[in-house]
Structure 1
Amino acid sequence: MNKTFLTAVAMAAIASTAAIAQDYTLDPTYGTHSLNAGFLPDPAELQITAGGLVDAGNVGCAGVIANAPDARLMWGGGSMTIGANSNDDTTLVVNAPDGEWYCSDDVNGLNPALSFSAAGQYDVWVGVYDGDNAPATLYVTEY
């Protein structure tokens, strides 16, 4: 019976290692960007490769994403929308200044978008629903 218990503990440890969520403390792959209300040009756009190896289900979102954020937005405050455009089915995962995780999928066709207003740091991942990597445009707009 002890052997069964030890096997169960070992399997749980392996499973928890495989379920490690994305890490917002890592440097973002495509940099840190600062924007304030009234920024131009609007939308601000960033070409990225969406997707990764991490199941976004770890924070209740759809798709697969990278471990490190794709981008970090330092937002000065006011209404804005973060979104992504791609020819593939993309998803969006955002860790907002309140420490909460926000998800989006299929808002504009197969493209995600989320609206926020609080000032602070937004860590952003663009995922791919089917598990492949895909070229995408990450954008921020006030419109």
Structure 2
Amino acid sequence: MRTVLLTTAIAAAMMAVAATSAAAQDPSAAASSGGMRARAGFTPDPIRVNIYSGGSIDASRLGGACTGMIASAPDYEFTYTAGSFPLSFGVVSSGDTSLVINGPDGRWYCNDDAEGLNPILTWGRPPSGSYDIWVGAVGSAASATLLISESN
């Protein structure tokens, strides 16, 4: 009887861990709207990517300034070879959006409402590497344009 209870408890704990993992952001997952590689001095500037904001996961669970509903997989992956330019990511949308980026250093960066309801994140001295990008919906999901630029 004791073995059955222990086995049941272990199975329940494993299911809880699996459920938590399924709801987490996965920077290694294929980006739903694709991605690209670019070197400093890229053209055109800005790069424009059409994205539909939102998802089923509350970004606030990442902490800090993270907000909005995002998907498990990133919306876009931007792999960058840095130079002497700053690097900015912004979103333009008729809806209220947020921006969540897992940077090349593995840290989470978030912004909401930098310009009206549009988020912006800028690295003055960006590191080279992959930037996994989520466009969150604050309220209703909406069509959005991700902008990637080396201009301030």
TM-score by length of structure 2 reads 0.81
103, 125, 149: which one aligns with 1:141: 149
CA distance in 2, matches of 1:128, 1:14: 27
Question: What is the match of residue 78 of structure 2?
Answer: 73
1:113 to 113, 117, 120: 120
Among 87, 105, 130, the residue aligned to 1:98:
105
Tell me if structure 2 keeps the 8 A contact 1:128–1:134: yes
Which residue of the partner structure matches residue 56 of structure 1? 59
In the TM superposition, residue 14 of structure 1 has moved relative to its aligned partner by 4.5
Query: Displaced runs of 4+ in structure 1, greater than 4 A?
Result: 13-16
Paired residues in the alignment total 138
1:24 alignment partner, one of 15, 22, 27: 27
Provide structure 2 residue ranges, at least 5 long, that are not aligned to the other structure: none
Measured against aligned partners, the alpha-carbon deviations of 1:88-138 in whole angstroms (never above 9, x if no partner) come to 1100000000000000000011000101211100000000111x3210000
Where structure 1 has 5 or more consecutive residues not aligned to the other structure, the ranges are none
Q: What's the CA shift for 1:15?
A: 8.9
Q: CA deviation at 1:85?
A: 0.6
Q: Percent identity of the aligned residues? A: 41
Q: Aligned partners of 1:109 and 1:65: how far apart in 2?
A: 20
The answer to whether the aligner puts 1:126 opposite 2:128 as a matched pair is: no
Is the 1:51–1:126 Cα contact (8 Å) retained in structure 2? yes
Alignment RMSD (CA, Å): 2.3
Write out aligned runs for 1:81-92 (5 A). 81-92=88-99
